[in-house]
Amino acid sequence: MKFFATISFLIFSTTVFSQNKTFRGTILLTDSFSVQNGKVVFPIQSDTLIIDETGVAKINLTEPSNRVFYFLWAGWKSKLFRYETDNCDSAIVEVKIPEKIYYEEFHQKKACPICNDGKYLIPVVYGMPTKKMMRQADKLKIYLAGCIRPGYDIQFYCKKHQFDF
Ligand SMILES: [Zn+2]
């Protein structure tokens, strides 16, 4: 009897507490300025979602390939969000952009935030490339980022996920 009571409680609690399967997030720039435009990138399936005029992105987590994503605004990235299940908090998440400290941790670990691995990483090189650098870039030994720095540090590029951070 106790066993059945436990089972029913488990079924009850999963239906009552696990109903939120849509992640809702809004971009907040570091100076607390909220923006309307921007997009959500799903690096696993190389897909993007344009945030509509409400300013709130709605991500359906029942689709497993939607469970890894980051927000992008004017070339600046948020941290990477990763959900193991389709269950998330119902409150609207204020997504901070750019997320410097989060990526500094991955610089130190020398690991891509998406694959959590350093196997596919190549260094990012700024400035006017020499011929040697162009050959290295062709062979995917380095990633040329051009002359304009994005305002924060980008050190690596993951060849597998086409992701710079
Ligand atoms: Zn990767």
Which mean pLDDT values do the consecutive 10-residue runs of the chain (165 residues) have? 52 57 93 81 94 94 96 93 95 93 95 96 93 95 84 88 92
pLDDT at res. 111: 98
> b/e per residue, 128-156, with b = 16+ CB within 10 A?
ebeeeeeebeeeeebbbbeeeeeeeebbb
165 touches 49 (CB < 8 A)? no
In the structure, ligand 1 is a single-atom ion and the residues with CB under 5 Å from it are 112, 114-115, 158, 160-161
State whether residue 47 is helix, strand or coil.
strand
Report how far apart, in Å, the C-alpha atoms of 158 and of each of 51, 99, 125 are.
Answer: 25, 18, 14
Amino acid at 97: I
Cα separation, 158 vs 123, whole angstroms: 9
CA of 70 to the centre of ligand 1 (A): 13
125 touches 133 (CB < 8 A)? yes
Peptide bond into 123 cis (omega under 30): no
* pTM as predicted: 0.81
pLDDT at res. 42: 96
Q: Per the structure block, which two tokens stand in for 61?
A: 């987590």
Cα separation, 122 vs 135, whole angstroms: 14
State whether residue 145 is helix, strand or coil.
strand
Amino acid at 64: P
Instruction: Name residue 71's beta-bridge partners.
Output: 40
pLDDT at res. 1: 55
CA of 159 to the centre of ligand 1 (A): 7
pLDDT at res. 157: 96
CA of 69 to the centre of ligand 1 (A): 13
pLDDT at res. 68: 97
pLDDT at res. 31: 72
Residue recorded with tokens 């720095």: 149
pLDDT at res. 17: 54
